[in-house]
Each structure stands twice: as C-alpha cells, then as structure tokens.
C-alpha cells in the first residue's frame, strides 16, 4: 500500500486553517530551541521537533534535546518518542505530525524547530510516495547485511539495478539495503519512487513565518565547542554506555549520532577522552557546515535568514 499524501494533506489543511504555524530551521547548535521558546512565549504555541536525531529515546544529552526547564516553558511534541532500535523515516515523522495535528485543538499554534532539511521539505513541498516493504523482506535484507556485509549487497544491487547502485557507496549498508528492499517489494527501483512527489503535509496557506538560522561560522563553532563540553559534564559518556548495552545494530540511525562512536571508543579503551571529544567536536562542525550549505541551496526566498545564534525572533507579522 502507498501512503495517500494528497488525502493526508487535505486533512491537515482542514485542521490548520485556524492555526498560526511557524518554521525554524538551522544547523546544529545555532540556537533553534531558544528561538522556538521565545516565539512560543509570544504566541502560546506548541513546539514540534523537526530533528531526526532528537526523536530517539536515550539520547537526550548527545542530541541536545530540550531539558526539563525548557519542557516546562511550552508544550513539546515528537521528542524522544522513538526507541533507538527503530530506523525512523521521514515518512513516519510526517505521519506522526499529521496524527499530532489531528489530536491538538484546532486553534493550537505550532512552531516546528529542528535541523533536518528533509523534514521541512515534507512539511512544505511533500514527499515521494514510497511502497510498503513487508517486514519479512526487510528482515531478510537486514540479516544478509549482518551476515555478508554491505559490499556484497551492493554487488547484488548492481546486478539488478546498475544505475541505482552507481549512486551509492558500497559500504553504505543502510542505503543499499533500502534500495534493495524497495526494489524487491515493488519491482521498481528507488529512483522511480523518488521521482514522484506528493502533497505537502502543511499546505502553503497554513504556514506563517519561516526562519532559517545561519549564524557566523566562528560564532557557531565556538558554540559547538562549549556545548559538547557541557554534554560531557551532563553525562554523555554514561548515555553512550547505556545505549551500547542494548546491543543494537551499528547501522541504525541512533547509533550514528555524533558522539556515540567517539565516546564508544573511550569505553572500549581504544581512545582517550580528550581525543574523542576533539573528534566529536570536529564531526559536529563538519555536520553544521553541510547543514548550512543545504539550507542555503534548498530554501527559497520565503525563508527569513536570522544571523545571530539564539537571537530574539523578529516580528512574525
């Protein structure tokens, strides 16, 4: 079964016309949470997570999820609601947003805040409709990945879809498996589905202000440095220890959160803490740079650029 995005979008439209909906995007450590809280204080809005790592339970510190004081200042939704054992998709997030809007009062204002560009694309432009993949098919390819390794599955994909395989790195097990799953379940390659487009989760007329935080690079890097130091002080190492105790597949998205691999090496005795911290900070800086490039290239003139990290939101009218 394919998700009917047109019907979903129409349903959301009926429930959002009385709302004020604002969007806040930006790279990691740019001050999105503080910005969202200030905006929520002005409008009485609910804050909705739009970050693909902050959805995971057990990663409160390393993903910089809102703390108890911040949660008390405004209603927050879709934070930490997904077990780390789940490979949560953009499509599932979009469905969760639709369900959330259906549950909230029709006049409840919303602020979407996060750093995952595809989530904002889903909200404003729509997603490619994807076929359902039976659990048995998914499990079979996951088992093969664990048994044979990503390069072997990449070779299998190349034999069945050479063009699709050429677009993927042989070692990227997660994406190779996804391509094989879709091909097996639907008979069509992944790019066939990606070339189609559904309706946006939020119809354009329901969205008010759109902000993208793009701080100066030096200021952002300094914030990244101090924030990771604070994460260490708040127990990031213990958080990684607890996550690793679950013995999860290392290819799961939660296991790829910045800091998990680096601090895991400390726990294994393969790296000292100072080096792990330096590497995690460097990885965060590189990630922030990629995010900023993506936002600049993908967002149009309807997005208002805010330069100051954590600055005061401009008027929304």
- Domain at 135-194, CATH class: mainly alpha
Please state the residue numbers annotated as binding site for substrate. 28-33
* 229 HSE (CA, 13 A, CB side): 6
Cβ atoms of residues 22 and 39 within 8 Å: yes
What is the band of 13 on the pLDDT scale with cuts at 50, 70, 90?
very low
Please state the residue numbers annotated as binding site. 26-33
What is the band of 8 on the pLDDT scale with cuts at 50, 70, 90?
very low
DSSP 297: H
Question: How high is the pLDDT of residue 132?
Answer: 83
Residue pointed to by tokens 């149009």: 300
Interatomic CA distance for residues 47 and 37, integer angstroms: 8
Please state the residue numbers annotated as binding site for ATP. 26-33
Question: How high is the pLDDT of residue 308?
Answer: 57
State pTM to two decimals: 0.80
For residue 33, the tally of other CB atoms under 10 A from its CB is 22
Cβ atoms of residues 285 and 217 within 8 Å: no
Helix and strand numbers (H, E) in the chain are 14, 6
- What percentage of residues in the chain have a pLDDT greater than 70? 91
Over residues 100-149, the pLDDT tens digits come to 999 999 999 999 999 999 999 999 999 877 788 888 998 999 999 999 99
Q: Which helix (H) or strand (E) holds 316?
A: none
Over residues 43-78, the pLDDT tens digits come to 999 999 999 999 999 999 999 999 999 999 999 999
Asked if the domains at 5-129+197-306 and 135-194 fall in one CATH topology, the answer is no
For residue 21, the tally of other CB atoms under 10 A from its CB is 20
Over residues 167-208, the pLDDT tens digits come to 999 999 989 999 999 999 999 999 888 777 778 999 888 999
Interatomic CA distance for residues 229 and 197, integer angstroms: 42
**Domain map (residue ranges) of the chain:** 5-129+197-306, 135-194
Residue 187: which residues within 8 A CB-CB, separation 6 or more? none
For residue 300, the tally of other CB atoms under 10 A from its CB is 7
Give me the CATH topology for the region 5-129+197-306.
Rossmann fold (3.40.50)
The per-residue b/e assignment along 143-164, b for 16 or more CB within 10 angstroms, e otherwise, is: ebbeeeebeebbebbbeebeeb
Residue 6 has pLDDT above 50, yes or no: no
Cβ atoms of residues 194 and 178 within 8 Å: no
């Amino acid at each position: 079964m394919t998700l009917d995005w047109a019907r979903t979008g129409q349903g959301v439209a009926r429930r959002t016309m009385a709302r004020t909906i604002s969007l806040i995007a930006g790279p990691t450590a740019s001050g999105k949470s503080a910005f969202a809280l200030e905006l929520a204080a002005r409008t009485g809005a609910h804050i909705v997570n739009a970050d693909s790592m902050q959805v995971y339970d057990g990663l409160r510190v390393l993903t910089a999820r809102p703390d108890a004081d911040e949660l008390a200042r405004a209603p927050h939704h879709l934070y930490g609601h997904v077990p780390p054992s789940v490979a949560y998709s953009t499509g599932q997030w979009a469905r969760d947003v639709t369900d959330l809007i259906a549950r909230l009062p029709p006049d409840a204002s919303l602020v979407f805040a996060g750093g995952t560009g595809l989530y904002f694309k889903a909200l404003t432009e729509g997603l490619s409709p994807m076929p359902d993949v039976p659990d048995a098919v998914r499990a079979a390819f996951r088992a093969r990945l664990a048994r044979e390794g990503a390069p072997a599955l990449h070779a299998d994909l190349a034999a069945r879809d050479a063009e699709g395989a050429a677009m993927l790195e042989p070692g990227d097990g997660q994406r190779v498996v996804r391509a094989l799953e879709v091909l097996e379940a639907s008979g069509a390659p992944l790019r066939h589905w990606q070339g189609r487009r559904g309706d946006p989760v939020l119809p354009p007329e329901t969205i008010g202000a759109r902000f993208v935080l793009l701080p100066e690079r030096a200021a952002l890097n300094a914030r990244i440095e101090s924030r990771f130091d604070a994460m260490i002080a708040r127990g990031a190492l213990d958080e990684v220890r607890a996550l690793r105790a679950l013995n999860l597949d290392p290819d799961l998205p939660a296991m790829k959160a910045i800091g998990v691999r680096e601090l895991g090496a400390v726990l294994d005795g393969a790296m000292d803490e100072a080096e792990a911290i330096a590497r995690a900070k460097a990885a965060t800086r590189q990630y922030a740079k990629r995010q900023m490039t993506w936002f600049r290239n993908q967002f149009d003139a309807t997005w208002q650029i805010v330069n100051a990290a954590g600055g005061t939101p401009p008027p929304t009218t």
